[in-house]
Amino acid sequence: MVNIGLLGSGFVATFYMNGLRDVPNQQVIVNYSQSEDRAKSFANEWKIPKWTTDMTEVTENPKVDLVVIALPNFMHKEAALLACKSGKNVVCTKPLARNAEEAKAMLDAVEKAGVLHGYAETEVFSPAVMKARDVIERGGLGDVFWVRSREAHYGPHSGWFWDPSLSGGGALLDMGCHCVAASRYFIGKDVRAVEALAWGDTLVHRVKCEDNALLLVRFEGKQLGQAEVSWSSRGGLDLRNEVYGSKGVIFTDVTRGTPITVFTLESTGYVVEKAEMDKGWVIPCVDEARTYGYHEEMRHFVECVQKGVMPRENFLDGYICNAILDAGYKSMRTGKWEKITY
């Protein structure tokens, strides 16, 4: 049995609990929130035996085998360092950090502590995306040369996302991390990303960060990763990938290509993450936690702790993603291709 300490009791933590729902040989034994009311209500909702407003009560709990960080970006580094201080295996939500410097400190800490570390990047644990990778590994696409990814909705659910001093950036960081992970996953993580070109601007929302962005990432084998991200896209969450190879092409669309479409004059109830309407023509997402990759990533991380093996997505992947996005932000300022430094 893997005992989990969950840091966070909000939006992402709820997805993690749904992801863990059918994963055997694990139990969340304690959850943390900055708010006592939220910590208590979350524990009651998910039947977690203990809750706290002190992170150290989770990271220092001798019964905890795995610390899962489901906190705002500005708290990731502190939480990871606390887990390492107590020698705990740790998983962190995306993006790993607000920038590459923070991510490198987190990577150094887990390596020094000798703990297992996982980067909870759902995109590469989505069953559709994993199936696409399987086709590539079997030679079905030949040589992958271009990956185009889109992540969009009408904006985040919490105020801290809109403050770059807390979040680290706007739509490019929040959504672009998924696209970067997809490009690396499809092209091959052994192929180094070498330079980035990006555009970003505030087009709709009156905020201090970009609500729309485009990013091109050039890899050492001349492959191209293309990210289109938006916090201004109506119609609910939009997740798509196009993978082009010398012998074929793959398309994934987990939110608009679902097996059910509904027209109704009444409310359908919950439709999909960030949905703005629940009447008329709606496209409900079937089993979101599994579709997006939360179930597969949580199962993987639990199994890795059981077996004592490093997760296939770990803090190194999170650091590389932050380094690529840092180059993207630099390019947004200079208007030029910028070298990705590691």
Helices (H), 263-314: 288-292, 294-307
Q: Any idea where the domains of the chain sit in the sequence?
A: 2-123, 127-293+323-339
Looking at domain 2-123, what is its CATH homologous superfamily?
NAD(P)-binding Rossmann-like Domain (3.40.50.720)
- Look over the chain and give the mean of its residue pLDDT values, rounded to a whole number: 96
Nearest C-alpha neighbor of 119 from the set 69, 81, 167, 190 = 69
What pLDDT is recorded for position 132?
98
Q: pLDDT band for position 155 (50/70/90)? A: very high
pLDDT in tens, 118-128: 999 999 999 99
pLDDT in tens, 285-310: 888 899 999 999 999 999 999 999 99
What pLDDT is recorded for position 282?
87
pLDDT in tens, 77-115: 999 999 999 999 999 999 999 999 999 999 999 999 999
Topology of domain 127-293+323-339, CATH = Dihydrodipicolinate Reductase; domain 2 (3.30.360)
Q: pLDDT band for position 41 (50/70/90)? A: very high
CB 173 within 8 A of CB 277: no
36 backbone dihedrals φ, ψ, rounded to 5°: -60, -45
Q: Give DSSP secondary structure letters for 273-286.
A: TT---SSEEE-PPS
Helices (H), the chain: 11-20, 36-46, 55-59, 76-85, 100-113, 127-137, 164-167, 171-187, 288-292, 294-307, 315-334
What pLDDT is recorded for position 258?
86
What pLDDT is recorded for position 270?
84
Do the strands 89-93 and 117-120 form a parallel or antiparallel pair, or are they unpaired? parallel
Measured between alpha carbons, how far is 247 from 245 in angstroms, rounded to an integer?
5
